[in-house]
Amino acid sequence: MKRLKRVAVIGVGLIGGSFALGARRAAVSAMIVGSDRDPQALERAVALGVIDEIADSPSEAARGADLVVCAVPVRAMGPVLRDVGLAMPDTAVVTDVGSTKTDVARIAREELRERAARFVPGHPIAGRETSGVDSAAADLFKGARVVLTPSTDTAPDAVDLVRTAWEAIGGRVTLLAPEAHDRIFAAVSHLPHVLAFALVSELAARDDAAELFGFAAGGFRDFTRIAASSPEMWRDISLQNREALLAEIDRYGERLAVFRELVAKGDGPGLQRLMEEARSARRAWGTRRAVSTE
Which CB sits closer to a second copy, 7 or 244?
Answer: 244
Q: Residue 99 in contact with residue 234, Cβ under 8 Å?
A: no
Among 135, 259, 291, 294, binds a second copy (CB under 8 A): 259
Which residue type occupies 127?
A: G
Q: Which stretch binds a second copy (CB under 8 A): 36-44, 52-60, 132-140, 276-284?
A: 276-284
109-168 residues in contact with a second copy (CB under 8 A) are 125-127, 145, 147
Q: Is 227 in the site for a second copy (CB under 8 A)?
A: yes
Q: Is 202 in the site for a second copy (CB under 8 A)?
A: yes
Gap between the Cα atoms of 200 and 265, Å rounded: 28
Among 66, 106, 215, 291, binds a second copy (CB under 8 A): 215
CA nearest to 78, candidates 55, 102, 101, 112: 112
SS3 for 176?
coil
228-257 residues in contact with a second copy (CB under 8 A) are 228-232, 234-236, 238-239, 242, 245-246, 249-253, 255-256
| CB of 231 vs a second copy, minimal distance in Å | 4
Q: Residue 63 in contact with residue 1, Cβ under 8 Å?
A: no
| CB of 124 vs a second copy, minimal distance in Å | 10
Q: Which residues contact 282 (CB under 8 A, 6 or more apart)?
A: none
Q: Other C-beta atoms within 10 Å of 87: how many?
A: 19
Which CB sits closer to a second copy, 53 or 142?
Answer: 142
Query: What DSSP designation does 131 have?
Result: -
Residue window 62-91: x/- pattern of binding to a second copy, with contact defined by CB under 8 A: ------------------------------
CA nearest to 32, candidates 24, 41, 40: 24
